[in-house]
């Protein structure tokens, strides 16, 4: 017997067991520890009350984890992970879980639901489109060992404990996805290291990196200061002070100069995703 309900009373260990089984044969296999899953759920504001599970005879065979935030005046849910264990695929469980939770999200005043899906995962994309999700943009992921040929030696890099996000948001124009957002960075806490780049005693760029995962969360240089070795100075500082090997996820593919910047610093594309959204009509 199949039952679909929220994960409000489901232990995180049970979710972990299903998560690791569901992603064991994925195109990019993932296996998390309990601490890693708990950290993911905390930093991405996952709320079990709006997350969904499909239970077959009491066993969790499918799930949708949803984060919850209010961005501006919009109450937003974020799909932080959808999984169905191998033997239960092909039965439309993802759609059935969303058929269950979407009316509840709308009733609770949510304005939209966001998610990311690997761009070549056509069955998943078709499933989400059937639910009502539409493409927002393509986003690209990089990883590798930083290789800086040269950088601006006059740039001074300083670490700050409490960055002014209003100031930083004026520097870059790429809207970060949920996992790279200000809210996620604040949730990461002390492991989120913020470096400011100064040129002529003025802030001209910044970078924020998660030191626990060596993931670059945000990097930007003021438009009028680009192509002057400032971004390279920031990456070089991360290489020296944090790690020479980093990853970067979910960079908007429309910003080709940013993609080219990473590639010329020896960071290779390893994944392209599609960001999709579903907007509720009231």
Local confidence band at 54 (pLDDT 50, 70, 90 cut-offs): very high
Please tell me the distance from the alpha carbon of residue 12 to that of residue 37, in angstroms, as a whole number.
8
Q: In what order do the strands lie in the sheet with 245-252?
A: 2-6, 52-56, 59-71, 74-84, 112-118, 268-279, 134-145, 245-252, 215-221, 202-210, 192-199, 156-160
The pTM assigned to this predicted structure is: 0.94
Closest CA to 136 of 122, 118, 115, 121: 115
pLDDT in tens, 163-197: 999 999 999 999 999 999 999 999 999 999 999 99
Share of the chain above pLDDT 90, in %: 95
């Amino acid at each position: 017997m199949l039952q679909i309900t929220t994960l409000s009373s489901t232990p995180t260990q049970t979710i972990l067991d299903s998560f690791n089984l569901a992603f064991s044969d994925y195109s990019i296999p993932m296996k998390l520890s309990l601490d890693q899953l708990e950290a993911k759920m905390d930093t991405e504001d996952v709320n079990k009350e709006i997350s969904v599970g499909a239970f077959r005879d009491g066993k969790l065979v499918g799930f949708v984890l949803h984060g919850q935030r209010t961005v501006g005046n919009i109450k937003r849910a974020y799909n932080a992970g959808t999984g169905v264990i191998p033997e239960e695929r092909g039965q439309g469980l993802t759609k059935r879980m969303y058929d269950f939770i979407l009316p509840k999200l709308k009733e609770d005043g949510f304005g939209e639901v966001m998610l990311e899906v690997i761009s070549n995962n056509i069955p998943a994309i078709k499933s989400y489109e059937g639910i009502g999700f539409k493409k927002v943009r393509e986003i690209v992921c990089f990883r590798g060992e930083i290789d800086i040929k040269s950088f601006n030696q006059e740039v001074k890099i300083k670490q700050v404990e409490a960055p002014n996000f209003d100031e930083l948001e004026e520097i870059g124009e790429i809207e970060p996805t949920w996992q790279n957002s200000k809210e996620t960075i604040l949730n990461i806490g002390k492991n989120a290291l913020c470096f400011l780049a100064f040129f002529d005693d003025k802030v001209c760029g910044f970078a924020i990196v998660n030191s626990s995962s060596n993931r670059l969360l945000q990097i930007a240089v003021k438009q009028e200061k680009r192509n002057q070795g400032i971004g390279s100075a920031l990456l070089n500082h991360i290489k020296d002070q944090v790690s020479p090997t980093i990853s970067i996820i979910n960079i908007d593919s429309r910003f080709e100069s940013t993609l080219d910047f990473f590639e010329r610093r020896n960071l290779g594309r390893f994944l392209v995703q599609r960001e999709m959204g579903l907007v509720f009509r009231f």
